[in-house]
Amino acid sequence: MQKKVAAIIQRLKERYPVAPCALHYLTDYELMIAVRLSAQCTDARVNLVTPHLFAAYPTLEAIASADISHVEELVHSCGFYKHKARDIVLACQMLIRDYGGKVPGTMEDLLRLPGVGRKTANLLLGDLYGAPGSVVCDTHCIRICGRLGLSQGKDPEKVERQLRQILPPEESSDFCHRVVLFGREVCTARSPKCDQCPLSPWCSQFVP
Res 3 pLDDT > 90: yes
Q: How confident is the model at residue 208 (pLDDT cuts 50, 70, 90)?
A: low
- Find the mean pLDDT for residues 115-132: 96
Q: What percent of the chain has pLDDT over 90?
A: 94
- Find the mean pLDDT for residues 2-14: 97
Domain at 2-19+135-202: CATH code: 1.10.1670.10
- Find the mean pLDDT for residues 179-204: 92
Residues 156 and 162 sit within 8 Å (Cβ to Cβ): no
Tell me how far apart the alpha carbons of residues 13 and 6 are, in angstroms, rounded to a whole number. 10
Is CATH 3.30.70.20 correct for 28-129? no
Give catalytic residues, as residue numbers. Answer: 119, 138
Residues 153-167 pLDDT 10s: 999 999 999 999 999
Q: Which residue in 177, 182, 178, 174 sits closest to 198, CA to CA?
A: 182
Locate the domains of the chain by residue range: 2-19+135-202, 28-129
Residues 21-60 pLDDT 10s: 999 999 999 999 999 999 999 999 999 999 999 999 999 9
Length of the chain: 208
Res 108 pLDDT > 70: yes
Q: Which residue in 52, 55, 68 sits closest to 115, CA to CA?
A: 68
Same fold, 2-19+135-202 and 28-129: no
Residues 123 and 21 sit within 8 Å (Cβ to Cβ): yes
Q: Any idea what DSSP says for residue 200?
A: G
Tell me how far apart the alpha carbons of residues 36 and 83 are, in angstroms, rounded to a whole number. 10
